[in-house]
Amino acid sequence: MQRKWWHKQVAYQIYPKSFRDTTGNGIGDIRGITEKLDYIKDLGADIIWLSPCYCSPLADQGYDISDYYKIDPRFGSNEDLYELIREAEKRGIKILMDLVINHCSDEHAWFQEALRDPYGERAKYFFFEKEVDGHAPNNWRSYFGGSAWEKVPGTDLYYLHLFDRKQPDLNWENPKMRQEIYDMINWWLDRGVAGFRIDAIMNIKKTFPFAAWSFQPDRNDGLSTVSQMISKAEGLGDLLTDLKNHTFRPHDAFTVGEVFNEKPEDLPKIIGEEGYFSTMFDFNETIFGQNNKGWYSWQMITPEDYKKCVFETQSRVGDRALIATIIENHDEPRGVSHYLPEGEQTVEAKKLLGTLQFFARGIPFIYQGQEIGMENKPFASIEEVDDVSSKDQYQVALQNGLTEAEALKVVSLYSRDNARTPMQWDDSENAGFTSGTPWLSVNPNKDVINVKAEAEDPDSVLSWYKKMIRLRKDAVYGDTIVYGTFESYLPDVPGLMSFFRRGEDHTLLIAANMQREEQDLTLPGEVKALLLNNGGALQIEGGRLHLQGWQVVVLEI
Ligand code: GLC
């Protein structure tokens, strides 16, 4: 594998709206990020991925862009962003922007123009279709619920939106549209961004003609998820190659794709030496237990399932590339609430989960607050929820016979708002996030879980993340952690997740006891060094390692 500058790095995702507000309007801003650069530097992360902060009506919190070239005034100005890039660079930190190019906002000038002249040039940037028998062209359901088609008032036309109706899909078949997107990407690269996280990108290739693609309804709303059509589309690779050649490749940009449901044989085309992207996220754990029916029917993941998902990804990717590892992001519940069983959100278990992420082969992406062990937010009523998809899923649950209390419980388990509550900097009223009223209320556990308290505590989750990052950059062990092969050890022992990382000069054994009960395991060799331990003294007797509940150790063997 050819070595790249980004292999050894650790990335940190910022959701600007919830990170740090310097103006008191209750919404985080770019200057707030600049203010916290030293914190990120001290943590040890070297890449920051910014969720969208472009002009947007915020129907989907910025994933609906109305001007690709301009920072939304609520987040600051372009000058603020350039300053952030400069200040980050001084600290050796690179900035990735979020690239949302499957769709834009219905308030984007292109779409406004298209609405004024639905048969004109600009309309060809989108998908406008004639109604069929007075109805939408087919029965696709958008990802956020309801039809994927929205009627254009006063016409017999509908436009396609895979996500919210305020997010019309862009027509990637149109070379003029593509060129405008490429120009915009190059414009940002010329301004010093190091690359992009690429949103919903597997959706840009559609199947045609649309009217021929009606599917069996998969819920009682008579609709069928649009992902069926996407999974049948042919020719995505040509579009992605064209995109890369016109933009990322000439700039040697770092790119991470939001890739779901790829066909296993496509993996080498997606990432690796000649891949469309530098890397992509490992969503194997994220999608475990999901189906098309809705959140109310999803199956919760157990530690055993989690282990199988990670091992499966690692064997699929092998050593041909480095995948981007996560336990959470702005679309998911908090990892420690989701992957650790209910009631097990202890400091030790949180450290264990982070260790499994950081020592799997890949590039770790931390989501803001993960490093202090932030947890899901309890919701007292659906009125407290902001997220479009959570509101839809609440209704889906009710329609399927759940009571309001049960539906709220489902939303609490999966809501994207869990990850979007303000960052907890200290234990003050608004957790040091804002002096005003936060746009989404702060998690009451900020009294205990916050940066200030954890920075002073050598045994905190935050201090553990710092240790893990230092180790990844360590002169002796760094190469093994980044490039070493991954090999499972005793995969069939319940409650145990252990694996080797074998490098040229060192072999590490990571052993994690994912349960409350203690357990022993036979060591595969003599212990040369103890690199990390979240529990008490290391207990080895007669070649057996004894682990306390939720203990994890990283050993050199
Ligand atoms: C991606 C984003 C998500 C957004 C969607 C539509 O999945 O991560 O937040 O809602 O795309 O842009």
Question: Which of the following is catalytic: 21, 106, 150, 199?
Answer: 199
Residue 371 covered by a domain: yes
114 and 225 part of one domain: no
Cα–ligand 1 centroid distance for 143 (angstroms): 10
117 and 256 part of one domain: no
Instruction: Look up residue 40 and give its amino acid.
Output: I
Q: What is the DSSP string of 505-543?
A: S-EEEEEEE-SSS-EEEE-SS---EEEEESSSS-EEETT
Q: Output the ligand 1 site: residues, CB below 6 A.
A: 60, 63, 100, 163, 199-200, 258, 330-331
319 and 281 part of one domain: yes
Instruction: Look up residue 113 and give its amino acid.
Output: E
Task: Please tell me the distance from the alpha carbon of residue 151 to that of residue 161, in angstroms, as a whole number.
Answer: 11
179 and 287 part of one domain: yes
Residue nearest to atom 11 of ligand 1 (CA): 200
Task: Please tell me the distance from the alpha carbon of residue 97 to that of residue 473, in angstroms, as a whole number.
Answer: 24
Cα–ligand 1 centroid distance for 70 (angstroms): 19
356 and 486 part of one domain: no
* CA nearest neighbour of 48 among 8, 17, 84, 4: 84
Cα–ligand 1 centroid distance for 200 (angstroms): 6
pLDDT of the residue at 203: 97
* CA nearest neighbour of 298 among 383, 203, 402, 221: 402
Residue of 13, 108, 331, 365 with the most ligand 1 atoms within 8 Å of its CB, for mutation? 331
Residue of 61, 199, 393 with the most ligand 1 atoms within 8 Å of its CB, for mutation? 199
* CA nearest neighbour of 547 among 505, 493, 482: 493
Placement of tokens 């992420």 in the chain:
357
Residue 152 covered by a domain: yes
Q: What's the distance, CA 116 to chain centroid?
A: 36
Placement of tokens 């309309």 in the chain:
123
* CA nearest neighbour of 196 among 128, 252, 262, 272: 252
Which phi and psi (to 5°) does residue 6 adopt? -90, -5
b/e burial code for range 461-473 (CB count within 10 A of at least 16 → b): bbbbbbbbbebbe
137 and 190 part of one domain: no
* CA nearest neighbour of 430 among 449, 444, 420, 412: 444
Cα–ligand 1 centroid distance for 237 (angstroms): 21
Domain that holds residue 442: 11-103+175-380+417-464
Residue of 163, 326, 416 with the most ligand 1 atoms within 8 Å of its CB, for mutation? 163
Ligand 1 atom index nearest CA of 144: 10
Task: Please tell me the distance from the alpha carbon of residue 272 to that of residue 274, in angstroms, as a whole number.
Answer: 6
Is residue 406 among the annotated active site residues? no
Ligand 1 atom index nearest CA of 100: 12
Q: Tokens for 137, please give them.
A: 């062209």
pLDDT of the residue at 436: 98
Cα–ligand 1 centroid distance for 328 (angstroms): 14
Q: Tokens for 294, please give them.
A: 């809705």
Residue nearest to atom 9 of ligand 1 (CA): 331
What does DSSP assign to residue 332?
S
* CA nearest neighbour of 372 among 310, 300, 456: 456
* CA nearest neighbour of 204 among 240, 179, 176: 240
442 and 540 part of one domain: no
Residue 388 covered by a domain: no
182 and 289 part of one domain: yes
Ligand 1 atom index nearest CA of 330: 9
Task: Please tell me the distance from the alpha carbon of residue 202 to that of residue 354, in angstroms, as a whole number.
Answer: 28
Cα–ligand 1 centroid distance for 202 (angstroms): 12
Residue 532 sits in a domain of what CATH number? Answer: 2.60.40.1180
Is residue 258 among the annotated active site residues? yes
pLDDT in tens, the chain (557 residues): 889 999 999 999 999 999 999 999 999 999 999 999 999 999 999 999 999 999 999 999 999 999 999 999 999 999 999 999 999 999 999 999 999 999 999 999 999 999 999 999 999 999 999 999 999 999 999 999 999 999 999 999 999 999 999 999 999 999 999 999 999 999 999 999 999 999 999 999 999 988 777 788 988 899 999 998 999 899 999 999 999 999 999 999 999 999 998 888 899 999 988 999 999 999 999 999 999 899 999 999 999 999 999 999 999 999 989 999 999 999 999 999 999 999 999 999 999 999 999 999 999 999 999 999 999 998 999 999 999 999 999 999 999 999 999 999 999 999 999 999 999 999 999 999 999 999 999 999 999 999 999 999 999 999 999 999 999 999 999 999 999 999 999 999 999 999 999 999 999 999 999 999 999 999 999 999 999 999 989 999 999 999 999 999 999 99
Residue nearest to atom 2 of ligand 1 (CA): 199
Dihedral angle sign, alpha carbons of residues 301, 306, 309, 312: negative
Task: Please tell me the distance from the alpha carbon of residue 176 to that of residue 84, in angstroms, as a whole number.
Answer: 32
Task: Please tell me the distance from the alpha carbon of residue 484 to that of residue 502, in angstroms, as a whole number.
Answer: 5
Residue 304 sits in a domain of what CATH number? Answer: 3.20.20.80
Task: Report CA dihedral (112, 113, 117, 121) to the nearest 10 degrees.
Answer: -130
Task: Please name every residue paired with 128 in a beta bridge, in sequence order, or none if there are none.
Answer: 159
> What number of H helices and E strands is found in the chain?
18, 23
Residue 259 covered by a domain: yes
| Domains contained in the chain, number | 3
pLDDT of the residue at 520: 97
DSSP alpha helix (H) spans, 167-215: 175-190
532 and 448 part of one domain: no
Question: Which of the following is catalytic: 258, 328, 332, 417?
Answer: 258
Cα–ligand 1 centroid distance for 491 (angstroms): 34
pLDDT of the residue at 326: 98
* CA nearest neighbour of 407 among 388, 379, 373: 379
274 and 217 part of one domain: yes
Determine how many CB atoms are found less than 10 A away from the CB of residue 58: 19
Residue 411 covered by a domain: no
Residue 148 covered by a domain: yes
Task: Please tell me the distance from the alpha carbon of residue 257 to that of residue 99, in angstroms, as a whole number.
Answer: 10
pLDDT of the residue at 1: 84
Ligand 1 atom index nearest CA of 389: 10
pLDDT of the residue at 195: 98
Ligand 1 atom index nearest CA of 64: 12
Placement of tokens 């002796």 in the chain:
476
Cα–ligand 1 centroid distance for 63 (angstroms): 6
* CA nearest neighbour of 262 among 273, 272, 249, 271: 271
Residue 275 covered by a domain: yes
Residue nearest to atom 12 of ligand 1 (CA): 63
Residue of 60, 161, 388 with the most ligand 1 atoms within 8 Å of its CB, for mutation? 60
Residues 6+ apart with CB under 8 A from 274: 268
Residue nearest to atom 4 of ligand 1 (CA): 63
Residue pair 513/536 in contact (Cβ under 8 Å)? The answer is no
46 and 156 part of one domain: no
Residue 407 covered by a domain: no
Q: Identify whether 209 is preceded by a cis peptide bond (ω within 30 of 0).
A: yes
Half-sphere exposure for 247 (CA within 13 Å, toward CB)? 28
Half-sphere exposure for 61 (CA within 13 Å, toward CB)? 22
Determine how many CB atoms are found less than 10 A away from the CB of residue 544: 11
126 and 258 part of one domain: no
